[in-house]
Structure 1
Amino acid sequence: MNGQAAVSPFSIASIVVSMTIAAIGSGIMFAYVPFMLTRSETPWAAGAAVTAVAFGGLVGCVLGGPLIKRVGHARLFACSMAMVIIAAVLIAADLPAYIWIFARGIYGAAANVNFIIAQSWLNHAASNEWRGKAMSFFYMAYVLGLGCGNWIFGQIPTDGNLAPLAVVFFTALAILPIGLTRLPNPPAPARVNVDIKMAWKISPVGLVGVLASGGLSMVVQGFLPIYASTNNVSQTDVAMLMFVMQTGLLFVQYPLGILSDRMDRRIVLLITCVLIVFAGFGAFFSSFSHLYILMIVFLIFGGSVETVYSVANAHANDRADPGDFVPLSSTLLVAWSTAATIVPLMVTMLTPVLGGKTFIVAAMAVAVVYGLFVLQRLKERGPAPEAERESHEVRSAQLPNAAALTEPGAVNPGN
C-alpha cells in the first residue's frame, strides 16, 4: 500500500465515476470531429486530427509526471479537465480546420495526463487484495463510457454546436466527484527513465506487442468513423457502429485474457493476430448495406486490438523483476504513444492515394508483421514455464498504463 492506510473499494468510486463521465464526453467528440471534418471542405483534416490526439498524448506522457510533482494530483486533474473544455470550446466555435486539429492535440495531452492521475491514484489507494479487480473495473467502466458517448452522439443534432457543448457539460461534471474526494494525494512522483534496451531484454514480444497495439488502437478506433462518414453512413449508424466496437473489450478481450492465463500468452497473441486479419478481411469486403455484419466485424476488430495490448503487457510483466516494473511500464507507455502517433500519420498520408480502406490494410499489415515476430520468438525460445505466468487483468489499449510515470518507488504492488 506504499505506506498508506487501507481504504475500502467504495472509497475509490469518485475516481472511477469522474473518469467514466469524462469518457462519455470523449466518446461524443471521437465521433463528432471525424463526422464533421469529413463533410467539410478539408476532409484530410479528419485523419490529421487522429494523429494530433496521439501526438498530444505523447506530450502528456512527458509533462504529466513533472506537473503532478509540482502541483499535486487533484489540482492538475482540474487543470487538465479545463484543457479538455478549452479544446471543446475551440471546436464549438466556427473556426478553420487547423484549429480543430490543434484542439484535438490539446485534448490528447490533457486526456493522457488524466489517465496518469487516475491510474496513479487508484494504484496508491487500492489495497493489494483488490487492486487488480479495481483496475479492471476502471478500464471497463471507461471504455463503456466511451461507447455511451458514441451512442449519445447519434442522438445529437450536428447542425449546431450542441455536441461540443455536451462535451463541456460532461467534462465539467467529471471534475466534481474527484474534486470532492477525501482520498489523500499519493506521494510526489520520482523521475522514471525510459529504457528501451532493458524492455527488449525483458520481453521482446511484450515491447513489440505494445508498439503494435499503439498503432492498431489509434488506427482502428480513430479511422472507423472517418471511413463510415466518407461512405455517407448516417450519424445514428456511425454512433451505433462505434458503440458496438467498444463492447469488444467484454466479448473478445475478456475470454482471450482468461485463455492466456491457461496457456502460453504468445500463442494467444498469435490467435489474436489471426482474428485481426480475419476481421480485416471482413471489414474490407463487407459493405455498409449490411451494417449489422460490419458491427460484428468491428466488435471483433476492436476487441482483438484491446487483447494485443493487455496480453502483451501481461507477458512483459511476467518476465520482469519487481524492481524493473516501473521503468518497464513507463517505457511501454512511451512506446505505445510513439506508435500511436506514427502509424495514424502514415495512414493519413496514404489514404488520399490508396483510398478509405487504407486503415484496414494498415491494421492487417501490423497484425501480420507482429504475428510473424511472435511465431519466430516461439521457435527460438520454446514454451513459457508455468511459474513465470501471472494472472491476466483487463486492460484497454485506449487507456494505456500511465500510472508508472508517477510511481514514487521502484515497486508497484499488485502487478
Structure 2
Amino acid sequence: MNDASTTRVSPLSIASIVLSMTIAAVGSGIMSTYVPFVLTQAGETWAASSAVPALAFGGLVGCVVGGPLIRRVGHARLFACSMAMVIIAAVIIAANLPAIWWILARGLYGAASNVNFIIAQSWLNHAASNEWRGRAMSFFYMAYVLGLGAGAWAFGQIPVEGNLAPLAVVFVTALSILPIGLTRLPNPPPPASVSVNIPMAWRISPVGLIGVLASGGLSMLIQGFTPIYATTSQISQGEIALLMLVMQTGLLFVQYPLGMLSDLIDRRVVLLITCCLVVLAGGAALFISFGTIILLMVVFLVFGGAVETVYSVANAHANDRADPGDFVPLSSTLLVAWSTAATVVPLGVTLLTPVFGQHTFIYAVMLVATAYGLYVLRRLKERKPVPTDERENIRIRSAQVPNASVITEPDADTTAP
C-alpha cells in the first residue's frame, strides 16, 4: 500500500483543497467587513477595534493547538470540526447578542481559521511533487486572497439590516466542507510540533525575524482598521466593499513584481523600497479624502500590497539564510512571532485611538514601516547579501494566510519506526 508521504498526485487532484479554502475565504471576506461596519455604525467602535486583536489572538491559539489536534483526530475530521467552529462564530453574531460576544466570536473564528490553514497547507505540501509544489502553494495563496476580496464585494450586495450577512457566511462555510469531505486524497502524516526558538531565528536572520514581526502588526492594522476608518468617514456600504476588494488585488499588482525583483537583487533592498512605499501610501491616505474615492482606492491598493510584500520577502530572506535542518523551528518561530505582533500592535492602536483619533492606525503603520526600514538600512551596511544562486525562489505569500507550510512536515516522533 502506498504511504501518504510518498504518494504524489496530479495538480488537478489538489483542486478540492484549494476550492474548499477559497469558498471559506468568501465567508471570511464577508464577515471581516460586516463586523466592523455594523459595530461602528451602531456606535460600538471600541468593539470593532477590539475584534481585530481578538481575531489575531485566536489565530495564535490555533497555531499552537493545530498540530496536536491533527495528531489526535486526523486532518479530515479536524477540518470539519474547525469549519463547524466558524459556523458557530457566525451564528453568535447572527443572534444579535451584546458587542462583547461579537469580540469573542471573532477570536473563535481566528483560532478555527488558522487550524484550517495548517490542515490545508499540510495536505498541499504532501500531495504536491517537488516540481510543482511552489506553484501550488502560490496558487493557493492567490486563490484565498481573491476569495477574501470576492467576499468583501459580496458584502456590498447584502443588506446589513437583519442577519442575512452572517447567515450567508454560515451557508458558504458549510458549502466549503463538501470538496475536502469528498476528496480521495490520503491523509498526510501528522505535522511537526510548533517549537519557538527566538535566539536561533535571530542568529539566522534578524532582518527576517523583525520583518515578520513588523508585518504581523502592519497586516492586521491595514486589514482590520480600514473598514472601521471608512465607516466612520460615512461612505456607503458599497464603496467600503469595493475598497476592501481593491486592497486584496495588491497581492497581484504590488507583491508579485516586488517579489520577482527580490529574486534578482538583495532582498533587503526590496524590503527598504517596500517600507518607503508603505510610508508614502500612508501619507497619501492621510491627505486624500473619501470624496475622491477612486484615488483613495489606488492608495490603499498600494498600502495593502506593500504590507503583503514585507511579509513574503522577509520570510524568503530568513529561509535564504537557514540550513535545511533549521527550517521547521524557524518557520514555527516566525509563525508565532507574526501572530504575537498581530495581536499586540492592534491592541495598542485600539487603546490609543480614542486619544489620537481614527487616523491612529495609519500613523502606527507608518511608524512601524519607518522603524523597520531604518533597521534594514543598518543591516545592509553590516552583512553581505546571500548569493543569488543560494536563494529560494520567491513565492506569492499573503500575511492573511499563516505560513505553516514548513511546519506541515511530518513530526519525527510519529513517523519513526
Q: Return the TM-score normalized by structure 2.
A: 0.97
Q: Percent same amino acid among aligned pairs?
A: 75
Contact 2:5 2:188 in 1 (8 A): no
Displacement of 1:39 in angstroms is 1.3
Match of 1:141 in 2: 143
Match of 2:161 among 159, 174, 177: 159
Report the more deviating stretch, 225-234 or 41-50: 41-50
The 5 A counterparts of 1:250-289 are: 250-289=252-291
Q: Which residue of 2 aligns with 1:52?
A: 54
CA contact (8 A) 2:122 2:405 kept: yes
Deviation at 1:352? Answer: 0.6
Runs of 4+ in 1 over 4 A off after TM superposition: none
Contact residue 61 and residue 405 of structure 1 kept, 8 A: no
Cα distance in 2 between the residues matched to 1:372 and 1:166: 45
Following superposition of structure 1 onto structure 2, how do residues 353-364 of structure 1 map, counting pairs within 5 Å? 353-364=355-366
List per-residue Cα deviations over 1:285-312 (Å, max 9, x = no partner).
Answer: 1100000011000000000000000000
Give aligned pairs, total. Answer: 410
String of CA shifts for 1:122-145, please: whole Å, max 9, x gaps: 001100000000000000000000
Question: The residue matched to 1:404 in structure 2 has which SS?
Answer: coil
**Residue 115 of structure 1 contacts residue 403 of structure 1 at CA under 8 Å; is this kept in 2?**
no
Q: Are residues 192 and 42 of structure 1, via their aligned partners in 2, closer, same or farther at CA, if it must alter by over 3 Å?
A: closer
Which amino acid letter does the alignment assign opposite residue 374 of structure 1?
Answer: V
Amino acid at match of 1:332: L
Q: CA deviation at 1:404?
A: 3.5
Q: 2:410 aligns with which of 401, 408, 411?
A: 408
Q: Partner residue of 2:338? A: 336
Give the stretch that moved more between structures: 299-308 or 188-197: 188-197
- The 1:2–1:186 alpha-carbon spacing in structure 2 relative to 1, beyond 3 Å, is closer
CA distance in structure 1 between the partners assigned to 2:149 and 2:196 by the alignment? 32
Q: State the alpha-carbon separation in 1 of the partners of residues 325 and 386 from structure 2.
A: 21
Corresponding position of 1:122: 124
Could you say what the CA RMSD is over the residues aligned between the two structures, in angstroms? 1.1
Q: Distance in 1 between matches of 2:73 and 2:7?
A: 23
- Aligned pair partner of 2:188 in 183, 186, 189: 186
1:409 Cα deviation after fit:
4.7
Q: Distance in 2 between matches of 1:100 and 1:409?
A: 36
Q: Secondary structure at the match of 2:399?
A: coil
Which residue pairs with 2:415 in the alignment?
A: none
| Displacement after TM superposition at 1:389 (Å) | 1.8
CA shift in 2, pair 1:383/1:325, >3 Å:
closer
AA at the equivalent of 2:297: M
Verify: 1:63 aligned to 2:65, yes or no.
yes
Partner of 2:208: 206
8 Å Cα contact 1:117-1:403 kept in structure 2? no
Letter in structure 2 aligned against 1:211: L
Within-5 A mapping of 1:202-241: 202-241=204-243
1:5 is displaced (CA, Å) by 1.6
Return the offset for 1:2: 7.6
Q: Give, in whole Å, the separation in 2 of the partners of 1:84 and 1:252.
A: 31
Which residue identity does 2:235 align to in structure 1?
V
Q: Does 1:298 align with 2:319?
A: no
Q: Please give the alpha-carbon distance, in whole angstroms, between the structure 2 residues aligned to 1:90 and 1:271.
A: 43
CA distance in structure 2 between the partners assigned to 1:216 and 1:2 by the alignment: 38
Cα displacement (A) at 1:41 = 3.8
Consecutive unaligned residues of structure 2, counting only runs of 5 or more, are 413-417
